């Protein structure tokens, strides 16, 4: 580690380096600990276990579908929160970002009260269509989307706020309707932030535990995602828990690294 | 009745823009004025980007914009045609090209926005790309263009939308001198080729005097003078206009450091000996000195002339000369007293070659 700052010959302030290093340790140490206890010799057999494969597939599928749903609904929601003037906008914005601070278990319980079999929406849904959401793969996806979408919404809303509307005004003088302006000018201009928001949402969904276990339960092959598999294994088979944890770290780091260069770069420049 | 009849009223905090404009088809109106006078706001109101103020004060003026007999904006009658339906093309100072599209797609944007298919729209755009010498740049992104090229694309994009009214908001001011001269030529060609009314906002006297048929001077939200460039030059109504009009502007032909004026029998010596061909030269009133006899000094340009008019203008006195060339000269009241200047008096005028700025026309 070089002790030189970007300003060349002058040395970086030691106090900042020390504090920053302590901060970095918080993230590095647990990883080192995890590597230290990993049963490397039978890692392959631990990870090819049916439970793990089921959980991995479910996690990848649900977090990817959730990220897609975040994109589909989150971008228009961010646009609405930023561009449409309506009463209660500040309140709605607070409610939308609530899942970022709410314990996920509470969020899961709230989802259950609303969409459960006896819930506000769940009961009529069940009566009319026979569809029951809780303890299904859809429950996992809804729980994931619930906790993940705020990340996309605030990222995109920040990008919209940094646009000054000049290009959109130019587009409107060229005969473009508001929807055309949004599609052909606004969206491409905030594309880097949208991509960053999708990556954040995917990552958040991939790691979701509390809301999922509350709203979707813990059924192997149906609602048991990787984080749930880790939790269950911690009691039953500690080595399996460690192996799955390592798998999650590997998948997450791979996704973040691969997407970082291409996509996440939009984060720094936009928000 | 002119093609564009507008009474633009925009109220913003303490600022009131209250400007009446009338621009016949096939003519160019320049809006000139100091920063913050309301020039860009006027254009934005015409384009519909900035809606005019509603009647929240009963006694205040109410605006109205009419283009070719169609009302675009009339807050009094609750009429507001949104920008996309106005058919008003506008070229912005900062070009506002769409960075994620090629030059070709930028120019085709308007046709596509109005429902044409991509191929058709791109085909239609090629005409304007050729008109503005952009065919070779068609596949570039705006980030790969020079300032002058980008502004040409912005012009092509606006023209391709087939507007009924063409607006330019300081189209040259973000460019360097060379690009500005080049684009001014392009601008003039396409202004002349546009059949509807056209308007250009500028604070560069050269643009205003060279491109416009009619000048509208706006100061602090009001029109302070309207007239042809010649009228404005002869009778400036305010100190601002006087300073603007005082910029003595001549077209001529340069060769080896000498400029022969087109409209007067007179020759100026300039510092730049490399210029060759048509040029525009400007002589600032403060750089000209007056003398009772032929001056012996370093000035390369001296000529005998006669004082026509003396007007006090703040802390200077504007002296108008008319032979052999019309020239505004600013001198101090002290100089007027020392030289005993009076209308009809024979004097010598002098200006250094280095004080004359010349650009290719």
Q: B333: which 2 tokens?
A: 């009241």
Q: Is the pLDDT of residue A266 over 50?
A: no
Q: CATH number, domain at B265?
A: 2.40.50.100
Residues of B with Cβ-Cβ distance to A171 under 8 angstroms:
98, 109, 113
Name the residue among A175, A176, A188 with its Cβ closest to that of B100: A188
Find the angle CA(B142)-CA(B146)-CA(B150) to the nearest 5 degrees.
50
**Which ipTM was obtained for this model?**
0.78
The owner of tokens 């996704």 is: A255
Q: Which long-range contacts (CB under 8 A, 24 or more apart) does B318-327 make?
A: B318/B242, B318/B246, B318/B285, B319/B290, B321/B349, B324/B264, B324/B265, B324/B266, B325/B250, B325/B261, B325/B264, B325/B266, B326/B233, B326/B248, B326/B264, B327/B248, B327/B283, B327/B285, B327/B288
d(CA B333, CA B208): 30
Residue A26 lies in a domain: no
pLDDT tens by residue, B243-271: 777 678 788 899 999 999 988 889 999 98
B128 touches A: beta carbon within 8 Å: no
Identify the domain boundary among B238, B266, B284. Answer: B238
Provide the residue count of chain A: 271
| Closest chain B residue to A181, measured at CA | B113
Chain A residues touching B109 at Cβ < 8 A: 171, 174, 176, 184
Cross-chain Cβ contact A170/B48 below 8 Å:
no
Q: What is the pLDDT of residue B305?
A: 93
pLDDT band at A267 (very low <50, low <70, confident <90, very high): very low
- Residue B203 domain-assigned (yes or no): yes
At A192, phi and psi to the nearest 5?
-60, -40
For residue A16, tell me if it sits in a domain.
no
Instruction: Look at residue A271 and tell me whether its pLDDT is greater than 70.
Output: no
Chain B residue with the nearest C-alpha to that of A164: B96
User: Is B278 within a domain?
Assistant: yes
3-class SS string, A147-171? HHHHHHHHHHHHHHHHCCCHHHHHH
Q: Are residues B34 and B168 in the same domain?
A: yes
Structural domain for B206, as ranges: 4-238
A184 contacts B83? CB cut-off 8 A = no
Domain count, chain B: 2
Domain membership of residue A229 (yes or no) is: yes
A220 occurs within a structural domain:
yes
Local structure of A40: helix, strand or coil? helix
**From CA B54, how far away is CA B266, in angstroms rounded?**
55
| Interface test mutation site (partner A, options B50, B83, B155, max chain A beta carbons within 10 A) | B83
Same domain, B262 and B340: yes
Does residue A230 belong to any structural domain of this protein? yes
Q: Do A167 and B86 touch (CB under 8 A)?
A: no
For tokens 């259950």, the residue is A112
Under DSSP, the state recorded for A12 is P
Tell me the DSSP string of A169-190: HHHHHTT--HHHHIIIIIHHHT
3-state secondary structure of B277: strand
Which chain A residue shows the shortest CA-CA distance from B109?
A174
Average pLDDT of span A145-170? 94
**CB B85: neighbour CB atoms within 10 A?**
12
Which residues have C-beta within 8 Å of that of residue B25, sequence separation ≥ 6? Answer: B2, B3, B195, B196, B197
- Return the closest-CA partner of residue B71 out of B5, B150, B152, B144: B5
Residue A161 covered by a domain: yes
The domain that contains A75 carries what CATH number? 1.10.3720.10
B147 occurs within a structural domain: yes
B200 and B31 in contact (C-beta within 8 Å)? yes
CB B71 within 8 A of CB A136: no
Nearest-by-Cβ selection for A174 from B44, B82, B113: B113
Please indicate, yes or no, if residue B17 is contained in any of the structural domains: yes
A32 assigned to some structural domain: no
Give the number of domains in chain A: 1
Average pLDDT value for residue range A150-178? 94
A191 to B109: CB separation less than 8 angstroms, yes or no: no
In a domain, B123, yes or no: yes
Instruction: Assess if residue B187 is contained within a domain.
Output: yes
Q: What is the CATH number of the domain that holds B214?
A: 3.40.50.300
Based on the fold, state whether residues B259 and B217 are members of the same structural domain: no
CA of A120, closest CA in chain B: separation in Å? 43
In whole angstroms, give the CA distance from residue A103 to residue B111: 51
Same domain flag for B192 and B315: no
CB–CB of B347/B341 below 8 Å?
yes
Q: Half-sphere exposure of B262 toward its Cβ, with a 13 Å CA cutoff?
A: 11
Q: With 60 as the cut, is the pLDDT of residue A38 above it?
A: yes
pLDDT at B279: 85
Q: Model confidence at A262, in pLDDT bands (50, 70, 90)?
A: low
Chain A residues touching residue B47 (CB < 8 angstroms): 169, 173
Q: Of B190, B211, B238, which residue sits at a domain end? A: B238
Same domain, B293 and B210: no
Q: Tell me, what DSSP letter sits at residue B194? A: -
Bridging pattern class, strands B70-74 and B64-67: antiparallel
Residues of B in contact with A177 (CB under 8 A): 84, 113
How confident is the model at residue A263, as a pLDDT?
54
Separation in Å, CA of A151 to nearest CA in chain B: 25
Smallest Cβ–Cβ distance between B49 and the set A169, A177, A189 belongs to A169
**Statement to judge: residues B258 and B351 lie in one domain:** yes
Distance of CA B129 to the CA centre of its chain: 24
Per-residue model confidence as pLDDT tens digits over A199-239: 999 999 999 999 999 999 999 889 999 999 999 998 888 88
Structure tokens at B315: 């802390």
Exposed (0-12), middle (13-18) or buried (19+): which is A128, by Cβ within 10 Å? Answer: exposed
Which is it for the CA torsion B229, B233, B235, B240, positive or negative? positive
List of chain B residues with pLDDT < 70? 1, 54-59, 246, 361
Using the beta-carbon criterion (under 8 Å), do B49 and A172 form an inter-chain contact?
yes
In this predicted structure, what is the pLDDT of residue B243?
A: 76
Last residue of a domain, one of B238, B262, B285: B238
Of A162, A232, A149, A159, the residue nearest A191 (C-alpha): A159
Structural domain includes residue B243: no
Which range of residues forms the domain containing residue A263? 45-270
- Residue A1's pLDDT is 46
Q: Which residues of B touch A270 (CB under 8 A)?
A: none
Q: Does residue A36 lie within any of the structural domains?
A: no
Mean pLDDT rounded to a whole number for chain A: 89
Q: Percent of chain A beyond pLDDT 90? A: 67
Report whether B331 contacts B290 (CB < 8 A).
yes
Q: Are residues B255 and B211 located together in one domain of the fold?
A: no
Residue range A235-249: mean pLDDT, rounded: 90
Cα atoms found within 13 Å of the Cα of residue B109, Cβ hemisphere only: 34
Chain B stretch 158-217, residues whose beta carbon is closer than 8 A to a beta carbon of chain A? 158, 161
Based on the fold, state whether residues B162 and B71 are members of the same structural domain.
yes
Quote the strand ranges of B24-101, DSSP E. Answer: 28-32, 64-67, 70-74, 79-80, 88-91
Question: B255 and B233 in one domain?
Answer: no
Contact indicator for B31, B205 with CB cutoff of 8 Å? no
- Indicate which of A159, A164, A169, A170 best probes the interface with B, i.e. most B CBs within 10 Å of its own CB: A170
* Of residues A173, A180, A184, nearest to B47 (C-beta): A173
Q: What is the pLDDT of residue B232?
A: 83
For residues B111 and B53, state if they share a domain. Answer: yes
Backbone angles phi, psi at B279, to 5 degrees: -140, 165
Instruction: For residue B202, give every residue at least 6 positions away whose Cβ sits within 8 Å of its Cβ, in sequence order, or none.
Output: B30, B31, B32, B168, B170, B172, B173, B208, B211
Q: What is the pTM of this model?
A: 0.78
Kindly determine whether residue A173 and residue B96, on different chains, have CB atoms separated by under 8 Å: no
**Same domain flag for B195 and B331:** no
Contact B110 A174 (CB under 8 A): yes
Q: What are the angstrom distances between the C-alpha of B286 and each of A136, B33, B293? A: 85, 21, 19
Size of interface A-B (CB pairs under 8 A): 64
* Edge-to-edge strand list for the sheet holding B88-91: B79-80, B70-74, B64-67, B4-12, B15-23, B222-227, B214-219, B28-32, B198-202, B165-169, B88-91
- Residue pair B169/B43 in contact (Cβ under 8 Å)? The answer is yes
Token pair of B92, please? 């912005």
**Chain B residue closest to A169 (CA)?**
B49
At A46-102, the pLDDT tens digits run 899 888 999 999 999 999 999 999 999 999 999 999 999 899 999 999 999 999 999
């Amino acid at each position: 580690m070089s002790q030189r700052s970007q300003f060349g010959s002058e040395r970086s302030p030691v106090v900042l380096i020390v504090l920053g290093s302590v901060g970095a340790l918080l993230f590095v140490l647990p990883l080192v600990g995890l590597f230290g206890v990993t049963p490397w010799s039978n890692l392959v057999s631990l990870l090819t276990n049916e439970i793990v494969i089921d959980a991995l597939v479910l996690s990848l599928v649900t977090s990817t579908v959730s990220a897609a749903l975040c994109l589909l609904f989150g971008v228009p929601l961010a646009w609405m929160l930023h561009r449409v003037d309506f009463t209660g906008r500040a309140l709605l914005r607070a409610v939308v970002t609530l899942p970022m601070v709410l314990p996920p278990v509470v969020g899961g319980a709230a989802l259950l009260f609303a969409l459960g079999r006896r819930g506000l929406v769940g009961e009529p849904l069940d009566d009319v269509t026979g569809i029951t959401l809780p303890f299904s793969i859809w429950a996992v996806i809804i729980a994931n989307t619930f906790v993940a979408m705020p990340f996309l919404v605030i990222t995109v809303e920040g990008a919209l706020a940094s646009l000054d509307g000049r290009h959109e005004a130019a587009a409107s003088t060229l005969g473009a309707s508001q929807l055309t302006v949004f599609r052909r000018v606004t969206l491409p201009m905030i594309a880097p932030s949208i991509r960053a928001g999708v990556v954040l949402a995917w990552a958040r969904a991939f790691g979701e535990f509390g809301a999922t276990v509350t709203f979707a339960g813990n059924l192997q092959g149906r609602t048991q995602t990787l984080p749930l598999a880790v939790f269950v294994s911690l009691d039953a088979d500690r080595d399996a828990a460690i192996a799955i944890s390592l798998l999650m770290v590997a998948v997450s780091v791979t996704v973040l690294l691969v997407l970082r260069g291409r996509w996440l770069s939009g984060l720094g420049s936009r928000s | 009745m002119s093609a564009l009849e507008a009474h633009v009223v925009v109220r913003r905090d303490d600022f009131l823009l209250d400007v009446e404009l009338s621009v016949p088809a096939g003519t160019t109106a320049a809006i000139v004025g100091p920063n913050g006078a309301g020039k860009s706001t006027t254009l934005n109101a015409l384009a519909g980007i900035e809606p005019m103020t509603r009647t929240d004060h009963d006694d205040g003026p109410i605006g109205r914009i009419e283009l070719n007999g169609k009302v675009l904006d009339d807050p009094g009658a609750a009429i507001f045609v949104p920008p996309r339906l106005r058919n008003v093309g506008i070229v912005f100072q900062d070009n506002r090209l769409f960075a994620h599209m090629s030059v070709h797609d930028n120019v085709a944007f308007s046709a596509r926005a109005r429902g044409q298919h991509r191929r058709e729209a791109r085909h239609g755009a090629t005409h304007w790309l050729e008109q503005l010498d952009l065919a070779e740049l068609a596949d570039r992104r705006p980030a790969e263009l020079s300032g002058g090229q980008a502004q040409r694309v912005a012009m092509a994009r606006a023209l391709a939308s087939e507007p009924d009214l063409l607006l330019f908001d300081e189209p040259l001011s973000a460019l360097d001198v060379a690009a500005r001269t080049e684009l001014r030529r392009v601008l003039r060609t396409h202004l002349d080729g546009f059949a509807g009314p056209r308007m250009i906002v500028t604070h560069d006297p050269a643009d205003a005097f060279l491109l416009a048929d009619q000048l509208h001077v706006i100061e602090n939200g009001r029109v302070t003078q309207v007239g042809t460039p010649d009228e404005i030059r002869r009778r400036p109504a305010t100190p601002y206009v006087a300073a603007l009009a005082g910029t003595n502007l001549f077209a001529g032909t340069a060769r080896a450091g000498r400029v022969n004026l087109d409209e007067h029998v007179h020759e100026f010596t300039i510092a730049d000996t490399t210029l060759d061909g048509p040029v525009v030269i400007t002589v600032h009133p403060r750089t000209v000195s007056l003398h009772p006899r032929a001056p012996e000094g370093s000035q390369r340009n001296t000529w005998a002339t006669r004082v026509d008019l003396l007007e006090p203008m703040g802390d200077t006195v504007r002296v108008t000369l008319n032979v052999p060339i019309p020239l505004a000269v600013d001198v101090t009241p002290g100089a007027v007293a020392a030289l005993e200047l009076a209308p009809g008096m024979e004097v010598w005028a002098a200006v250094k070659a280095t004080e004359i700025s010349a650009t290719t026309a």
